[in-house]
Amino acid sequence: MSSPIRSPLRSRPVLAVTALLGAAAMVGTVPVAHAQTPDRIQADPATVQIEVGQSAPLTFTALDADGNPIDVAIRVTGPRGAVQVEEGAIRGLEVGTHTVTATEVLAAGEDREPLSVGVPVEVRWPAVERVATEALTPGTLFEGSTQRHRARAYHADGTERPAPDARWQSHTPEVVEVDRFGNVTAVATGHAEVEVTVEGVSTRWEGQVRPLPELRLSLEGGDDVVRTGDVQHFRLVARTPDGVAIDEEALAELPVRWSLRHDLPDDLAAPPAPGQIRDGRVVADIPGDFTVVATVGGLNAQRTFRAEPRDVVRNLEVLGQGRQDHVRTTDFWVFEGNDGRDYVITGAKMSDGQAFVFDVTDPANMVKTDSIRVDARSINDVKVSPDGRFATLTREGASDRVNGLVILDLSEPAHPRIASEVTEGLTGGVHNAYPLDDYVFALSGGRRYVILDVRDIENPTLVSEVEHEDCGIHDVWYHDGVAYSAQWGCGVIAYDVGNGAWGGSRENPVFINSYIVPGEAATHAVFPYYQEATGRFYLFIGDEIMNRRGLAWQGVPGNYQIPYDPETGQGGTILSTRGYIQVIDFTDPAEPEMVARYEVPEYGTHNIWVEDDVLYQAYYEGGLRVVDVSGELMGNLYTQGREIAVYRSADPIGYVPNSPMVWSAMPYKGMIFFTDTNSGIWAVQLEGEGRPVME
C-alpha cells in the first residue's frame, strides 16, 4: 500500500537553525570568565505542555543569590527527534514526556560542578476532529466473506493520527459481525451498518451484503520452480458453472483474501514468515514448497510452487588497505585522473580540516600523495565530477561558522589545488553535495540545497535553491534531470531540475512528489536506480539512527567514537546504530509504492550505491554488504538469500581498534572500494566470473 502523498510544502526564507551537539540541540554563547558566580538557573515555565508540531515559550535565566539575572552561557539539550530546541521556545516532535535540560557552561579554569535545571515537556496529540473508514480488502461484501477495514482519524489541521485506537461496533449483528481490528464478516444478506469511534468521534460505514454467486475459482500465472527472492505473479480467474470466465469488472467486485502456506522440508526449520504475499504477488524467503490460496467467502483456489536456494554467495578477496588510524575517515570518491592513474580522495573528522589523496592504481600498495587543509572540523562528503575536472569537499565546523563548499581543481589529480570556496547561501554547515559536469547541488545548514553553476570552477555562481518548511535535509542525489533529496521526517522529495517532464530546470526547480517512509523520521540517504531488466525505477532509501533505544541491546552509553586513553580508561568503544534500506518503486512518480527492504538486525545503514543490479551497502558496524537486487523486488532482501558477500573491516591498529564502521562503498573497475571511519580505505574484489542476474 502506498504511503500518503505529500503535497508541495511552502517555500520560505531561510531561518536560523539551532546548532546540534552530538544527539542534542545546543544554544548559548561562547563562555567567558564569569564576573559573578550564578546561584541557580531558572526555567520559565517550569513545565511545558504542547501538541505535536507546535511550539511553546521556554527560556532559561542564570540568577545570582539575590535573584538578579547575570550573563552566563547556557547550553540547552533535549532528546533528538522528540523535541527541537529553538531560540526562546521548544517544539514538540514526538508524543510522550521528555526532559529538556539547561546547563551552565563553565569558563576555562572554573573547577566546580555546573548548575543545571530540567524541564518536563509533555508532548500530546491534538484532538481528533474527524474519523473515516477505508476498506483494505477491495470488492463487494458477499455473504460468507470478510472485508478488512481501517479507521483513519484526522486532526483539525488535516494531519492524520498514526495508529488510532479505534472501537468497532456492528449495528446490524444479524447481517455482519466486526472484530476489534475492523474485520467485517457477512453472516447473512441485507443492509449492514458498522460504527467506528476514536476518542469520542464516530463515523458509520453502511453497505449491502449480497448473496455470493455460484462460481469456480482458479489461479493462473507463476512458475512451478523459482529461486528464493523471485517475485511470482498470480491472477485469480472466476468462472460460472458452465465454464464462462466473468469479466474484469465483475471480478473486481469479489473480496479476495490471499494467503500463503509453506510446507517445511524435513531438514529446515522455517522462520515465522517464510514468504510474503500481496494482491497475488508472492515471494519466498526460504527454500521449500509454497501454496498460494485465494479465498472468496467459502470458495477458494490454490496453486503450489517450489522455491530453491538463490545460491549467489561468492568469496571476497581483500586487495589492499590505505590505513588511516589517526583520523576518522569519512566519505570518498575513486576516479581515474587525466594522467591515467587511479585516485581516491577522502574526507575526515578529527583531522584538523584535512582531506587526503591516495594513488590506488595498485590497490595492494595505496600511496598517499597529498592532503588538502581547509577551515573545518569535519569534511563529511567528497565527490568528483563525472568528467573528472573537479572535486567537491563539504565543510562543517569552520572557525568562523561560515563553512561553505570547497571546489578542487583536479588538473593534477595527485596534487589537487583549491580552485574556489563557495559560501554564498551555504552558511550553517554543508553536509553533502552532488556534482555534475557543470553544476553542483550543495546542502546548506541541514535545511535546503542550492544549485551552483560551476562551468568556471574559479568563479561558481548561485543559480537557484530548494527549501521546505519544517523539513531537515541530509542528502541529495541526481538522476536524469531529477534531484532526489533525503529529508529526515519528510521522507524523500523529488524535484524536476532539468528533466523537463514537469516543467523544471536548474533555474526553476519544480516539485514532482514526495514519499514518507515508515520508521523514526530518519531518512538519511537516497540512491535512484533504473533496472533495465524489468523497466522499474527504484529509490533505495536509508535510515540513520545513531542509537538502539528501546531494544534489548541498547549499545554503549554515550555513543561517541574516540580512541582509547590508557590513562583515563575512557574511549575505544564502538558506535551503536540501527536502521535499514527501504526500496520504493518510483516508476510512476504519481503513485510511489514501498515494495521491499534490506534489513540487517543489530546494525544501521549509511551510504548506498547500486550498479548492475548489485547493492553495495555501507552498513556501519555491519561492514560492507554486497547484495543481489536483480529482478522485481519484494519483501526483506536480507532473508531471501540475496547477500553475495559481507566484509567487516576490523583493524587492530584502527582509530578505534577492531571496530568496523563502514561509511561508503563504490564499485570501480571490477573492484569494490570502501571507507571505514576507524581504518581508512579498503579495496576488495569478488572472486569468480559474472554477477547474479534475473533468469
**Residue 174 belongs to domain with CATH number:** 2.60.40.1080
Q: What is the pLDDT of residues 81-121, one digit of tens each?
A: 789 888 899 999 889 999 999 999 988 788 889 999 999 99
Read off the pTM: 0.85
pLDDT by residue (tens digit) across 244-255? Answer: 999 999 999 898
The torsion region of residue 554 among left (phi > 0), alpha (psi -120 to 50) and beta comes to alpha
* Cell of residue 104, nine digits: 551552565
Question: What pLDDT is stored for residue 557 in this prediction?
Answer: 65
**Cα→Cα distances 367→67, 122, 331, 364, 494, Å:** 63, 55, 18, 10, 40
d(CA 686, CA 13): 49
pLDDT given at position 4:
34
Residue 570 belongs to a domain: no
Please give the residue that has the higher pLDDT: either 559 or 214.
Answer: 214
272 in the same domain as 191: no
Tens digits of residue pLDDT in 155-204: 998 989 989 999 999 999 999 999 999 999 999 999 999 999 999 999 99
Q: Considering the domain boundaries, does residue 139 fall inside one?
A: yes
Question: 525 pairs with which residues across the strands?
Answer: 542
Please give the sequence-ordered ranges of beta strands (E in DSSP) within 27-163, or none if there are none: 40-44, 48-51, 55-57, 59-63, 74-77, 83-86, 89-92, 96-104, 116-124, 128-135, 146-155, 160-161
- What is the pLDDT confidence band of residue 503, given thresholds at 50, 70 and 90? very high
Measure Cα distances from 682 to 554, 622, 662, 673 in Å: 29, 15, 10, 6
Instruction: Quote the pLDDT of residue 562.
Output: 75
Model confidence at 20, pLDDT cuts 50, 70, 90, reads: very low
Is residue 11, in this structure, part of any structural domain at all? no
CA-closest candidate to residue 460, choices 493, 436, 482: 436
Question: Residue 519 above 80 pLDDT?
Answer: no
- Residue 350: band (very low, low, confident or very high) from pLDDT cuts 50, 70, 90: confident
pLDDT band at residue 143 under the 50/70/90 scheme:
very high
Peptide bond preceding 518 in cis form (omega within 30 of 0) = no
Residues 550-578: pLDDT tens digits? 888 887 765 567 777 778 777 777 788 99
Structural domain includes residue 632:
no
Rounded-to-integer distance, Cα 510 and Cα 411, Å:
35
- Examine the domain organization and report whether 266 and 245 are in the same domain: yes
Confidence of residue 12 (pLDDT cuts 50, 70, 90): very low
Residues 6+ apart with CB under 8 A from 448: 14, 465, 466, 467, 468, 473
Range 491-498 average pLDDT:
96
pLDDT for residue 8: 35
Q: Are residues 162 and 231 in the same domain?
A: no
| 270 has a pLDDT exceeding 90 | no
CATH number of the domain enclosing 105: 2.60.40.3450
C-beta separation of 390 from 435 below 8 A: yes
Domain interval for residue 24: 19-124
Is 350 within 8 Å of 329 (Cβ atoms)?
Answer: no
pLDDT at 364 over 60: yes
Name the burial class of residue 225, with classes exposed (0-12), middle (13-18) and buried (19+) by CB atoms within 10 angstroms of its CB. Answer: exposed
Most confident of 223-237, 247-261, 275-289: 223-237
Report the percentage of the chain scoring pLDDT > 90.
Answer: 74
Q: Specify whether 80 is located in the same domain as 156.
A: no
Q: φ and ψ at 249, to 5 degrees?
A: -65, -45
Determine the pLDDT at residue 272: 59
Residue 12 in any domain: the answer is no
- For position 67, what pLDDT does the model report? 92
* Of 85-89, 226-230, 251-255, 485-489, highest mean pLDDT: 226-230
What pLDDT shows up at residue 26?
36
At residue 17, the pLDDT reads 27
465 neighbors 448 (Cβ within 8 angstroms): yes
Report residue 480 CA to chain centroid gap.
22
Amino acid 571: pLDDT: 77
Scan for cell 590513562, then name that residue.
567
The pLDDT value given to residue 568 = 78
CATH number of the structural domain spanning residue 254: 2.60.40
The Cα 218–Cα 234 span in angstroms is 10
179 and 112 housed in the same domain: no
Q: d(Cα 410, Cα 337) in Å, to the nearest integer? A: 8
- Give tens-digit pLDDT for 414-468: 999 999 999 988 877 889 999 999 999 999 988 899 999 999 999 999 999 999 7
Question: Got the DSSP string for 558-612?
Answer: T------BTTTTB--PPP--B--EEEEE-SSTTS-EEEEEE--TT-----EEEET
Cα 627–632–633 angle (5° rounding)? 55
Q: Quick one: 229 and 186 in the same domain? A: no
What is the rounded average pLDDT of the residues 529-555?
Answer: 91
For 455, what's the count of Cα atoms within 13 Å in the CB-facing half-sphere? 2
* Nearest-angstrom CA–CA distance, 204 and 169: 9
What value does the mean pLDDT take over residues 2-10? 34
Residue 230, in any domain of the structure: yes
Whether residue 80 sits in one domain with residue 27: yes
Q: How many domains does the chain have?
A: 3
178 domain-assigned: yes
Is the model's pLDDT at 18 over the cut of 80? Answer: no
The model's confidence at residue 499, banded by pLDDT at 50, 70 and 90, is very high
> C-alpha cell of 410?
583536479
Domain limit, last residue, from 187, 209, 231:
209
Does residue 229 lie within any of the structural domains? yes
State whether 259 and 178 are in the same domain.
no
Residue 439: what pLDDT? 98
Does position 21 have pLDDT exceeding 50, yes or no? no
Residues 392-408: tens digit of each pLDDT: 999 988 888 788 999 99
Judgement on whether residues 118 and 147 belong to the same structural domain of the protein: no
Residue ending a domain, among 209, 228, 258, is 209
User: Residue 33's pLDDT is what?
Assistant: 43
| Mean of per-residue pLDDT scores for the chain | 89
Strand partners, 72: none
User: 226 with 169, same domain?
Assistant: no
- Average pLDDT of the segment spanning 223-227: 97
